[in-house]
Chain A
Amino acid sequence: MNTMTRGNEHRAGDSEWAVETHGLTKRFGPNVAVNNVELRVPRGCAFGYLGPNGAGKTTLIRVLLGLTHANAGTMSLLGFDVPKHRDLALSRVGAIVDEPRFHSHLTGRQNLELFAAHREPAARERIGPALERVGMSHRANDKVSKYSMGMRQRLGVATCLLGDPELLILDEPMNGLDPAGMHDMRDMISALVAEGRTVMLSSHLLDEVERTCDAVAIVDQGRVIRQGSISELLSGAAVILQVECSDNEKANTVLGSGNLSVQVTSGPSGLDITLPAGAGRDLIAEVARVLMSNGVDLYRLQPTQTSLESWFLEVTSRLGEAQ
């Protein structure tokens, strides 16, 4: 009977999504920190949960990990329903919430021993390799009270690795890291993903998420407003053409009076022509043709993709205007 149950639970864990939520809601009195969130994190990728401070990123993570209960909705981790099969789900999850905290009177190794004791017996054998992997072997026997913030972050990642996790959930992992530490953390996340693990990280550092993640969800005021791969999301964003030409004024008049639905503004080194979202190469060629046919000489015409940051600001400001 137990075997059957166990087997069924294993099958329950076979899902294409590492994290899946439906209508997840968490309220603190009148405040809705997580508002009807529909989230799907694909397996085997680095996924960014992106939003400004106070958007509800950490609260969502706390709900997913069973640190606090949801008021409504369903969720699953690695295909296991949470909180029903929370123990099974979390057995292959490593997580840092808020910031890594440890018993400061213990050494790094002793802290890991304490955490490993709460996992399966094999976790104790992973302490040495985990410390080595995060580059903390040489300081493992120092008390945590002597660690810098960056070292604590690394020790936090080592804690996550004790369970040989399929899914890592990292809350603001770049916090407190210097540029070299951020670079190392990026490399670490890439390496973990390359091993087939899923890394879900929350951050308000858009640049870091853009560099680290394959897919993102944008959250604002507790709601997921966009999600998908970064390339997909940005393909829906506007493209800006930077133009250097012989006569800026004439170019502005010609483009404004034509049938092209573009926006022209003066930039520091010429004109910035904003093409509508989804515009292809044909429109770029049409812009060049119109200018040339009206006697405007082109010296430079460079399409630039909107960065995640400007797209994020664009999306969130649109949301703000709508509200």
Chain B
Amino acid sequence: MMTSSGTTRVVRVETGPPPNDHRGSWLPNGAMITKRFMELRRRRGLMIALAVVTIGLPSIFLIVRLLAHAFAPKSYGPAGGYDIFTSLVSGVLFIFGFIVAAALGCTAGSIDLQEGVFRHLVVTGRSRVATYFARIPAGLAIVVSFVAIGYGIVCLVCSFAAPTVLSYDGVNVPAGLSQRALDTWASSHAEEVICRFNFGFENGPPSASFSSVVQNVPCNNGQGRHIKIVGPPGSQGSSSQPTQAEIRSAAVTIANLDYSDYSKQFLSPSDSLMIRTGLWIELEAAVGFIVGLGLGSLTGQRTISVILMIVLEVILTPIFLRAHIPHMINLQRSVVGVATDHLGPSSIPIAGGGGQNDQANLISETRAWAAIVVAAWVVAWTALGAWRMVSRDT
């Protein structure tokens, strides 16, 4: 029960503002950030959603692959590896990391308003801008941690459970060979190279004998490789049986031709790629959080803001990535999802950009322009969110 007035307390009431009180400052203090972190972290449903998407999804995928490979190694390849890494990063962590980070941002930006707590924070006299800014490090600490844990698991599995042999066009090839070493290897596996490697010559085959060799190597149960080699008339070759030396020479030619593509194939992601990719998906998540925070503050509505962010990431960004709308290319490039896509490592397929064949048709954007777009979105949405928080009647 409350203390009765019957026993009058002798209390010296402090008068005047507290000493060293920078309440009007735009900068939040450490306590505001840590307590906001605590407030967000204790939202159990949101934290579970974050964990499921950033840690659960890739973990379950990798566990299933690990088990499948353990029980049926001939049917199922290794759980990790370079290809799995790039798929998980661009297909799961990048897109869903953005969405859950945006959901957290929308929550952080609107929940004080929705729960009626904002006015109680305002009447402390603390700057509304500082109250807004306190949410940025607090929310980022959560988002970055979750994404880092999920990404760390992906990196670990993809590095340590990577295949030991590279499968290039269905042929097991030693990984990491130099061009000379690949030539040597091709020479000793000439028929496999000729029959299985993909190749093509824009200006026709190097010689008439090359075409003849390729078409007369006994692939497909002795039928020969049925490929069409585009070239000038008379370059189609004859049907005479090639010698071993000619076959090896043709294999080396094909290996040389494919080396540039082969050199991009790895058993596992390199350290530098993992670091660059990690920074990239953290950037994407951070941008998602900050834009979501601004939008949540602007609308004051969590659900609507989250829906808008999902629409932006899942519908609008892929459309703007692929469609080449006349006179609107620069507008398309100004969409934050398009810009962050172009800031990623070049060896990672662009998320939302479709399959391998679609990647070449996506709109182009320089890294400098992409960086400017991302910075502009972050600054603009932070300014909008802070402005709305300052101007809002509560």
Contacts and interface: CB of A to CB of B under 8 A. Distances in A.
Interface in A108-135: 110, 113-122, 124, 133-135
Interface residues of A, number: 60
Interface string A145-179: 00000000010000100011010000000000000
Contact of A195 (B6, B9, B38, B42): B9
A31 B112 CA distance: 28
Interface in B7-36: 8-18, 20-21, 23-24, 29, 31-32, 34-36
A270 to B, nearest CB: 39
Nearest to A169: B123
A101 interface: yes
B42 A65 contact: no
Nearest to A91: B17
B220 interface: no
Contact of B38 (A100, A113, A185, A190): A113
B42 A190 contact: no
B393 to A, nearest CB: 4
B394 A68 contact: yes
Interface stretch (A82-90, A231-239, A247-255): A82-90
Interface string B176-203: 0000000000000000000000000000
B120 A100 contact: yes
Contacts of A69: 393
A13 B9 contact: no
A267 interface: no
Interface stretch (B87-95, B124-132, B281-289, B366-374): B124-132
Contact of B39 (A99, A103, A135, A163): A103
Contacts of B9: 191, 194-195
A289 interface: no
B308 interface: no
A115 B124 contact: yes
Nearest to B44: A105
A244 interface: no
B331 interface: no
A86 B24 CA distance: 8
Contacts of A120: 18, 20-21, 23
A92 B15 contact: yes
A160 B121 CA distance: 11
A272 B13 CA distance: 48
Interface residues of B, number: 48
A102 B42 CA distance: 14
A187 B6 CA distance: 8
Contacts of B42: 105-106, 110
Contact of B122 (A10, A66, A133, A190): A66
Contacts of B115: 101-104
A166 B17 CA distance: 10
Contact of B124 (A102, A103, A163): A163
A94 B12 CA distance: 16
Contact of A93 (B2, B3, B123): B123
B43 interface: yes
Interface string A205-235: 0000000000000000000000000000000
Given A120-B21, A197-B13, A188 B2 contact: yes
A195 B3 contact: no
A196 B13 contact: yes
Among B9, B16, B21, B122, which residue has the most Cβ atoms of chain A within 10 A?
Answer: B16
A118 B8 contact: no
Contacts of A9: 17
A134 B1 CA distance: 6
Nearest to A134: B2
Given A9-B17, A187-B3, 18 more contacts: A13-B15, A62-B119, A67-B123, A68-B393, A88-B23, A91-B21, A92-B17, A92-B18, A114-B39, A119-B23, A120-B23, A122-B18, A135-B1, A154-B2, A163-B124, A188-B3, A191-B4, A194-B5
20 contacts: A10-B17, A62-B393, A67-B122, A89-B125, A90-B125, A91-B18, A92-B14, A93-B125, A103-B111, A106-B39, A114-B35, A118-B32, A118-B131, A119-B125, A121-B31, A187-B6, A191-B3, A191-B8, A194-B5, A195-B13
Interface of A: 9-10, 13, 62, 65-69, 86-106, 110, 113-122, 124, 133-135, 154, 159, 163-164, 166, 184-185, 187-188, 190-191, 194-197
Nearest 8 CB-CB pairings of A with B: A90-B125, A101-B116, A190-B5, A117-B31, A87-B24, A120-B18, A68-B393, A184-B2
Interface of B: 1-6, 8-18, 20-21, 23-24, 29, 31-32, 34-36, 38-39, 42-44, 111, 115-117, 119-127, 131, 393-394
